[in-house]
Structure 1
Amino acid sequence: MEKKKPDIDIVNEILEECIMAYPVSSFIISLYKQYLQRGSLSKKQLQGLYAKASKIELLSPGKLATLEALIHRMPTRQKSTAPAIKPVFERDEQQGRMLDAILGKYPNHKMALFLKAKYDNDETLSSTELADLKRFTKSLGV
């Protein structure tokens, strides 16, 4: 079925009138080409078109009001703030205190030195190494 009344395209009409008023404006020409290719414009582009079109005296205020209503109806996209930078690895202070206590009492303890080197290099201690560390702390009476 064929429509009797084709839809009125206010944006296209305003773009054409802006081209007549500003024939050398590269902004208006690029908006017009993009509108023909895509069939729509972004909110910021429509705001720029509105700013240019509002300077034209012969443009009817009804068309400007319609364009303004289109702009207000479009959603405003806002970028969320970047999340706070969190360090990849956080040291467990309790492990550090246990290692310092063991090495304070027995400075040449080989396993404690090995675990301290891993701890200082920000490597995670495996569950068996952590169990060994707790066992050393308990058995050495530290």
Structure 2
Amino acid sequence: MQKKKPEVDIIEKILDACYAYNPDKLFVMSLMHQYEERGSLSKKQLQGLFQIAQKVPDLSSAWLATLESIILKMPTRYKSEKPVPAAPAADDTQAQTEQTIEAILVKYPAHKRVLFFKAKFSNNEALTPAELTELEKFAKLLLK
């Protein structure tokens, strides 16, 4: 991996300082190994390194500020939540959904998304709230 400026490497200097301060720290050793192998660390790893580096007494505050700015520049990645299946709908809602699907398919028999909804509905799989909203939107647009 090509680095931007190989002569200035603050992360490596901070890793070396943390290792010199506490050579028995396994986390720092694993970060050093990964940094040598891959050439970079994730945002969470850099945050952990920052926490450890704050405890090193003779570490330059400029290095800490640089590390903090590197962390702040990195994007924060969020895991998406698992989709929550819709609660079993009442019989009248299911009947209305089935009627809507059939009405759209009578007018547009090759509509792929509505055919997908019909297949899902006929397999007794619950339509998610987003899918129900989408179906209602199709009904408003197509069944004027």
Same fold at TM > 0.5: yes
Distance 1:49 1:38 in 2: 16
- For 1:51 and 1:31, how far apart are their aligned partners in 2? 13
Name 1:11's counterpart in structure 2: 11
CA drift of 1:7 comes to 2.7
Q: Which residue of 2 aligns with 1:67?
A: 67
TM-score by length of 2: 0.57
> How far off is 1:30 after superposition?
0.4
Partner of residue 55, structure 1:
55
Q: Which runs of 4+ in 1 moved over 6 A?
A: none
Deviation at 1:84, TM superposition (A): 2.0
Equivalences for 1:74-113 in 2 at 5 Å?
Answer: 74-86=74-86, 92-93=94-95
After the TM superposition, which residues 27-42 of structure 1 pair with which residues of structure 2 at under 5 Å, given as runs?
27-42=27-42
- The Cα of 1:18 is off from its aligned counterpart by 0.5
Q: Secondary structure at the match of 2:41?
A: coil
Q: Which protein has the larger Cα radius of gyration, Structure 1 or Structure 2?
A: 1
Distance apart, 1:77 and its partner CA: 0.3
Query: Are residues 123 and 82 of structure 1, via their aligned partners in 2, closer, same or farther at CA, if it must alter by over 3 Å?
Result: closer
Size of the aligned set, in residue pairs, is 93
Find the aligned partners of 1:15 and 1:34 in 2 and give their Cα distance: 11
The aligned amino acid for 1:68 is: E
RMSD: 2.6
Percent of aligned positions with the same letter in both sequences? 47
Change (3 A) 1:58 1:86: same
Whole-angstrom distance in 1 between the partners of 2:7 and 2:122: 67
* Unaligned segments of structure 1, at least 5 residues: 95-121, 125-142
Task: Provide the C-alpha distance between the structure 2 equivalents of 1:58 and 1:123, rounded to a whole number of angstroms.
Answer: 69
Q: CA deviation at 1:8?
A: 0.3
Q: 1:36-90 CA distances to partner (integer Å, 9 max, x unpaired)?
A: 0000000000000000001111000000000000000000000122222148xx9
TM-score, length of structure 1 as denominator length: 0.58
Q: 1:6 to 1:74 in 2, by over 3 A?
A: closer
